[in-house]
Copies of this chain bind each other. A is one copy, B any other.
Amino acid sequence: MKKHDQDFIRRQNRLTVFEMIKNQHPISRAAIAKRTGMSPTTVSRIVTELTEQGYLFESDQVSEGVGRKSTLLDIVSASVLSIGVELDRGHMNVGIVDLQGNLLCGGKYPRDPDESPDKTIARISEAIDGLTKLQEIDRTRIVGIGVGLPGIVNNEKGIVMFSVQLGWKNVALADRLKELTGYEVAVDNELKVKALAEHLKGVAIGSSRTALLGFGNGVGSALILEGEIYRGETNSAGEIGHTTVDPNGMMCECGKTGCLQTYINIGSLLSEANRIRPIRTIEELFEARRSGEQWAVQLIERALMYMAITVNNIVCMYNPDSVILSGELVDKIPEVYEEVEALCHSRFIWEPLRGSFAFHRSELNERGVVIGSGLLSQNRFFELS
């Protein structure tokens, strides 16, 4: 129910042109006009404006057959920079991301799981100071900070509602970090920004409906619809960790029984494994399976089956065009992706939907959250400007 006026048109068209160049560079003015349906005049005017603001440059002259050469336009990728932050229980990652989603520089910092929010926020700020002091970075080009973390986030107000992994509850992360650094801060759930990154710069470029699944210390999913993160009413959409997959199953920390996460969480798998014999890491567990220990075979096969079931349930409900598997389990253990995919295709996907989507493994891996957070904050910036 919002009005539309000339200003809206202008901003929208500017954005359309900019996005098109960002995604399909290098490209000529004429090609943009053709593809968007705008008149060449309009495109030219917008391009002039964007060039003056330093976002674009004319990269080359190329002959398209007969006629005047077309001048190709390209993005000045360093014209907009943002800082991406990944917060997790035991570590944090900070990086500087450019317009094209490249990680210009970055660092990994350990974090004490019991660290207070204030301490962590201060250390993020220090890390940013450190990175931006590197000479190549033009600090005036930084438009904001994005933070991705596990847990439920109020993304509008930038508040971490609660995060089991961080041990946080009701932390006004955005406000405090903005106070400290002066930059605009966007906060969101890690899987949501990771999905955004894969959609914009990873394996799901061009997809209209991307579903990303994260199998790791938590279990979750995220959905990108027409380039936008689907959030739901309280930004909790995709919290599949507590969907019930077996009413007779184990007790979950949430107080229900048979939650999905009790079957495929790394923590749950390890604690189950330790009923048999001491197992420290998930790699050890898979090693035990490879060497044929029956209990490990059973435990892991059950987990893999539930992962395939989860893919099916996601596909039935979201009906996406791309499904991406990600998370520690997928990144660290090569067979997880392959076996889940095989299970899906052979048995667990409802037949009418087989082939309705592309199956991918995360391409950006552990850089996904940092890149996604950075891109999120850039998106926020462009929406406003």
Contact = CB atoms under 8 A, between A and B. Distances in A.
B19 A9 contact: no
A304 to B, nearest CB: 11
Contact of A316 (B230, B243, B319): B243
A151 B27 CA distance: 44
Contact of A254 (B2, B244, B350): B350
A319 B353 contact: no
A348 B233 contact: no
A205 interface: no
A103 B230 CA distance: 35
B353 A244 contact: no
Interface string A345-361: 00110111100110000
Interface in A284-328: 305-306, 309, 312-314, 316-321
B2 A16 contact: yes
B3 A239 contact: no
B319 A232 contact: yes
A35 interface: yes
Nearest to A242: B350
A172 interface: no
B246 A246 contact: yes
B356 A233 contact: yes
Contacts of A306: 247
Interface in A214-229: 221, 225
B36 A319 contact: no
A132 interface: no
7 contacts: A3-B13, A6-B6, A6-B9, A8-B9, A232-B320, A236-B352, A237-B317
A32 to B, nearest CB: 10
A230 B232 CA distance: 13
Contacts of A352: 152, 161-162, 236
B319 A231 contact: yes
A161 B319 CA distance: 16
A40 to B, nearest CB: 12
Contact of A1 (B3, B8, B36, B312): B36
Interface in A1-47: 1-6, 8-9, 12-13, 16, 19-20, 35-38
Contact of A9 (B5, B16, B254, B312): B5
A152 B152 CA distance: 34
A4 B352 CA distance: 37
A160 B348 CA distance: 25
A353 B256 CA distance: 13
A300 to B, nearest CB: 15
A238 interface: yes
B256 A3 contact: no
A65 interface: no
